[in-house]
Structure 1
Amino acid sequence: MTPPATAPAFLARHGWAGARITPLAGDASFRRYFRVADRGRSAVLMDAPPDKEDSRPFLFVAQFLLANGFRAPRLLAADLDEGLLLLEDFGDRRMGPTLACEPAREEEVYAAAVDLLLALHRAPPPLELRPYDRAELLREVLLFPEWYGRAAGIDADLESYTNAWDRVWGDVLAESDQRPVLVLRDYHADNIMLLDESAGPAGLGLLDFQDALAGHRAYDLVSLLEDARRDVSPRLAAAMVDRFILGAGVDDAERFRAAFAVLGAQRNVKILGIFVRLRDRDGKRGYVDMLPRVWAHVARNLAHPALAPVRAWFDAHVPQELRAPWCR
């Protein structure tokens, strides 16, 4: 986590000469983050190597969120050729670590996060966003056989695997086409900052939304409640799904719950592949420690009747000993 060599000159050009640069927690991408401190002010330096990361989608979605009253980090300076962005600093009160220290606030904070989604879905998504369509859903679930399956020695039949998924996401795709919403795609406790009540909807700040698409309204709710990084109790998850259904005016609750399960399976199976890829391709070994929790999510997802074809595929091709116990 050494700052890029070009950082001091970049900061000097934008009024931060001599500022102290210290590392912040990174994410699963090639981006790195640093806190920049100077004379009582602070900002966040994002290092996104342009040969590996395109920062323009981040800036586009941030602008949309800010224009619609949500709290995304404001851009202070940028050099896209060098892959450097200087952003507003939201501080250190991430939702996950804060709730670990203040567990009594869990229901209150999750309710605020659900309410933010409800508000976000009232704003039509930008027309420029790509749809979260079949091609994208399929590309993501194929990460499981490509990375997890290969590492575990699973001889996957890709044709039957694809056919199983195609049999379960028809309703999801139909609603995504008819009433798409902005899907942030990584809306979970480590990407939500606790600010204050005057800071926009629910007093929450948003991070890591550069991969946003236009898709189904259940997706980010799944991301929030089926978190790879922390446990959410079944009671709290059920209460938050009920809160969303009521707040969104969902007219067919069972159909929505089925879509929630399908998207949960799709997302969590994708994560199984991504976390093994992070270990095997990128040398980031810590992510596989979370795989038992992700497998528990998959098991709950596959128990829903809407996932019967996918459950049958997993039962036929992925024995129990190659699931949660194997992945460490």
Structure 2
Amino acid sequence: MTIQQDERLEALSGWLVETLKLTVEAVEPASSDASFRRYFRAYSNGMSFIVMDAPPSRENVRPFIRVAALLRNAGVQAPEIIATDEERGFLLLTDFGTRSYLDALNAASADRLYEDALDALALMQSGVDIETSGLPPYDERLLGVELDLFRDWFLGLLLGLALDPSDSEVFDDLKQRLIASALEQPRVCVHRDYHSRNLMVTERLNPGVLDFQDAVIGPVTYDLVSLLRDCYISWPPSMVEVWMIDHYTRLCETGVLDSVDLDLFRRWFDLMGMQRHLKAIGIFARLKLRDGKPGYLKDIPRTMNYVTEICRRYPEFAGFLSFLDNRVLPRMSLDKVT
């Protein structure tokens, strides 16, 4: 912990006691995430709370506050915001406990937990008004910037792999196809990180949903593939197919999808997964190289496997699959990103 972080923890503790007048028995680390935010668990009068520390020079708590209200109004269990100090980047939140979906998922619990998670996703997709939400669009520019993370941080900086003109042509073609597929989908509220680490197992209104501050208005399949083809845990394709079709059926019934063929929805789902997984691989590399967080490297092989599986399913990605097979995967093995 740096001196600056120590100073922020001291200021945060002072805010709880002096400003909020809480009798605080203890403050302990709860978690950190892939950003500059930190979370602490504070104990007061037999209750526990989560306190977010978001340094204003690095993070803005206002999107978190806005999206939390949108989700709660839609019936999704986002944390209740009890107190705020927006200028200093402190939030006091309700505590969903310590058991994440990633901790709880197994063969016996998966169907029940995913049913709850898909219920919450359906509420978010149908219950947030995309016209009045004020959320930014998941547009062509943002989709492209995210895909460039794979090229710049993973291929270039982590693997030291420079693209020749032929490779660049293949990658640019891939980008165009993935972006076009994303932009032709119906638009809904998109959490952007709806997966097992950000869903907490709760006794009522399961799950508790976290880390939603980057929400946008975008493709209907994004959060679905984020959940079902999770970078941190994988399931047999047959199970993923059943859950995907169940959600597709619900979207049709609720009117979110209008006359969309299942085969087209499946293609959207597959290609959206490629965009997300390539982005995630780039982010994992950046976390290692820029932020000194190497722990995410172990999740790259699982995430890359999703990409190669989809490339094999669609002939138009044969060129990119060849590039991965011949240039990327051997370098991953040499660099021990496996």
Partner SS for 2:42: strand
2:41 to 35, 43, 46: 35
**More displaced 10-residue stretch of structure 1: 86-95 or 277-286:** 86-95
What is the distance in 2 between the residues matched to 1:111 and 1:324?
37
Aligned to 1:302: 311
What is the distance in 2 between the residues matched to 1:174 and 1:145?
24
- Native 8 Å contact 1:33 1:47 kept in 2: yes
* Deviation, structure 1 residue 160: 4.7
* 1:69 correspondence with 2:75: yes
Aligned to 1:5: 10
Aligned to 2:187: 180
* Deviation, structure 1 residue 133: 1.3
Map 1:249-328 to 2 at 5 A. Answer: 249=252, 250=257, 251-305=260-314, 308=317, 311=320, 314-315=323-324, 318-323=327-332, 326=335, 327-328=337-338
* 1:98 correspondence with 2:101: no
What is the distance in 2 between the residues matched to 1:324 and 1:112?
38
Aligned to 2:159: 152
What is the distance in 1 between the residues matched to 2:232 and 2:174?
28
Task: Provide the aligned C-alpha RMSD in A.
Answer: 2.1
Aligned to 1:208: 211
Partner SS for 2:84: strand
**More displaced 10-residue stretch of structure 1: 247-256 or 159-168:** 159-168
Aligned to 1:193: 200
What is the distance in 2 between the residues matched to 1:148 and 1:74?
37
* Deviation, structure 1 residue 295: 1.1
CA deviation string 1:93-135 (max 9, x = no partner): 21110225xx411111112212221222112234411111111
* Deviation, structure 1 residue 289: 1.1
Give the residue type in structure 1 aligned to 2:9. Answer: P
1:241 to 236, 244, 251: 244
* 1:169 correspondence with 2:176: no
Aligned to 1:122: 126
* 1:223 correspondence with 2:226: yes
TM-score, normalised relative to structure 1: 0.91
What is the distance in 2 between the residues matched to 1:217 and 1:287?
27
What is the distance in 1 between the residues matched to 2:273 and 2:324?
18
Structure 1 residues 307 and 37 mapped into 2: Cα distance closer, same or farther (>3 Å)? farther
* Deviation, structure 1 residue 226: 1.3
What is the distance in 2 between the residues matched to 1:242 and 1:40?
44
What is the distance in 2 between the residues matched to 1:306 and 1:50?
47
- Native 8 Å contact 1:168 1:306 kept in 2: no
What is the distance in 2 between the residues matched to 1:36 and 1:79?
16
**More displaced 10-residue stretch of structure 1: 312-321 or 32-41:** 312-321
What is the distance in 1 between the residues matched to 2:121 and 2:334?
34
What is the distance in 1 between the residues matched to 2:267 and 2:319?
13
Give the residue type in structure 1 aligned to 2:188. Answer: V
- Native 8 Å contact 1:62 1:73 kept in 2: yes
* Deviation, structure 1 residue 159: 5.5
* 1:134 correspondence with 2:140: yes
Give the residue type in structure 1 aligned to 2:224. Answer: L
* Deviation, structure 1 residue 189: 0.8
What is the distance in 2 between the residues matched to 1:325 and 1:84?
43
Structure 1 residues 85 and 278 mapped into 2: Cα distance closer, same or farther (>3 Å)? same
* Deviation, structure 1 residue 306: 7.0
- Native 8 Å contact 1:164 1:309 kept in 2: no
CA deviation string 1:157-214 (max 9, x = no partner): 5455223311343242122xxx3100001000111112234x3xxx221100011010
Structure 1 residues 133 and 96 mapped into 2: Cα distance closer, same or farther (>3 Å)? same
Regions of 4+ moved over 6 Å: none
TM-score, normalised relative to structure 2: 0.88
- Native 8 Å contact 1:279 1:287 kept in 2: yes
Structure 1 unmatched runs, 5+: none
**More displaced 10-residue stretch of structure 1: 304-313 or 22-31:** 304-313
* Deviation, structure 1 residue 316: 8.2
What is the distance in 2 between the residues matched to 1:15 and 1:281?
38
